[in-house]
Amino acid sequence: MKLSDPLKISYRTLSASKLRFFLTVLGIVIGVASVILVMAIGASAQKLVLSQIENVGSNLVAILPGASEEKGPPASALGIITTTFTNDDLKALRERRNVPHLSSITGYVSGSATAEFQSTSLESSFQGVSPDLIQIENIRIASGRFFFPEEEYDLSRVMVIGATRAKELFANRNPIGETVTLKKIPFKVIGVLEERGSAAFSNPDTLIYIPLGTAQKLLLGINYLNSARAKIDDPMNIERSIADINLLLRKRHDMKDTEESDFSVRSTAAALSILTTITDVLKYFLLAIASISLLVGGIGIMNSMLISVSQRVREVGLRKAVGAQRIHIIMQFLIEASFITLTGGIIGIIFGVLIAHITSLVLVELGYDWRFLVPLSSLGIGFSVSFIIGIIFGLYPAIKASRISPMEALRYE
């Protein structure tokens, strides 16, 4: 038997049942497209998140309340509130004798409230921060000024707003000197930041910044910090500084040598490593979910091939009667199943890449620094998995067809 013979038979058979062929292929198309889309969006999202961490610099250290494993996320990242990291800790960290290589540090607290100016009301996120924020995050002031050091804890009712929030609240009006209320408390606008663009977890252009002590006492009613971020004078001194911070905070919190720290100190490099691990897990978890649609497509192929076997009993029996062997019949049906899945796989890859590209265009239009990434591995996985599914789910119908006897075919009506 020539190789071209089963290919010709497959083509004629599939052409004779176009609707069934289309519906079977559609299941594979959806499955492969889902896999490509999930891997492409997962890779792009991971790049977006990691680039945001990389952009803040390699000489930053984050201090987060709550214990954590060395390579695991801190407790605060899991939604656990710890109140032991306070303003006094922040002041102690600023003392050069405690952490000699720390050049600047800011504390953070955050919340949300309705920002009101005249007839305009907007639900807004705000952050209570220290004046050092402009050095930590490399912020640039478009107009006005940032907080003075003395305004951090004297309950000054002043605010600095992001570029987008300024446009939404004031349109073409100059915001400097105007009064905006948060939780019915009036704040004077003293500065507007330059536009920075969307970040992975938030859009800083829509944030409102309040002096740290003011946000804690007047807006949130707390006396602890959500986090802190410190800049070290040289990346070479990061490990030494982390050790100094750990030693200082453990001493201040009266922690015994055997007791686990109630805070976490992480460098940018450590954060990148942890985030890479977390996003990899999420990416492959989503891939596993998307692969379920491929399984459904495979079941559709098996069902279609079983129907085909039942409709071609006479054909198979006659072929065996004129000398066709079992292996020829098996090859015939496997080729048909593989042809269906490879067709669906190719179309699915095209659709998956196309949808991922359209998604990237939409996100870029929304202001995110989104990169269109399609891992080559996803193309290989999409193509090879579709072929393997054709073999696996086509094998049982093929074996069943090969067992049809010529006598059974003659009795078949």
pLDDT in tens, 190-246: 999 998 866 545 678 889 999 999 999 999 999 899 999 999 888 788 889 999 999
- How sure is the predictor about 3, in pLDDT bands with cuts at 50, 70 and 90? very low
Q: Are 183 and 159 spatial neighbours (Cβ–Cβ below 8 Å)?
A: no
Distance between CA atoms of residues 239 and 220, nearest Å: 34
- The reported pLDDT for the residue numbered 327 is 78
Q: Are 153 and 122 spatial neighbours (Cβ–Cβ below 8 Å)?
A: no
Assess whether pLDDT exceeds 60 at residue 340. yes
pTM of the model: 0.60
pLDDT (average), residues 47-64: 71
DSSP H/E element including 264? strand 263-267
Interior angle at CA 176, CA 170 and CA 182, nearest 5: 65
Q: Where are the beta strands (DSSP E) in 21-96?
A: 60-65
Across 48-62, 127-141, 294-308, the highest mean pLDDT is recorded for 127-141
3-class SS of residue 144: strand
Q: Name the residue ranges covered by the structural domains of the chain.
A: 4-53+274-411, 83-261
- The reported pLDDT for the residue numbered 288 is 74
The 8 Å CB, 24+ separation contacts for 15-18 are 17/308
pLDDT (average), residues 23-47: 79
Cα dihedral 241, 243, 246, 252 sign: negative
Assess whether pLDDT exceeds 80 at residue 63. yes
Amino acid (1-letter code) at residue 52: Q
Reported as a single tens digit per residue, the pLDDT across 245-256 is 999 999 999 888
Reported as a single tens digit per residue, the pLDDT across 105-149 is 999 999 999 999 988 899 999 999 999 999 888 888 999 999 999
Assess whether pLDDT exceeds 60 at residue 325. yes
Radius of gyration of the chain (CA): 32
User: Which comes out higher in pLDDT, residue 344 or 254?
Assistant: 254
CA-based max dimension of the chain: 99
- The reported pLDDT for the residue numbered 261 is 84
- The reported pLDDT for the residue numbered 1 is 47
Assess whether pLDDT exceeds 80 at residue 48. no
Reported as a single tens digit per residue, the pLDDT across 261-284 is 888 888 876 666 666 776 777 777
Q: Where do we find the tokens 């536009």?
A: 195
pLDDT (average), residues 78-103: 87
- The reported pLDDT for the residue numbered 195 is 86
- How sure is the predictor about 353, in pLDDT bands with cuts at 50, 70 and 90? confident
Closest CA to 133 of 125, 141, 143: 141
Assess whether pLDDT exceeds 90 at residue 372. no
- The reported pLDDT for the residue numbered 233 is 87
- The reported pLDDT for the residue numbered 104 is 92
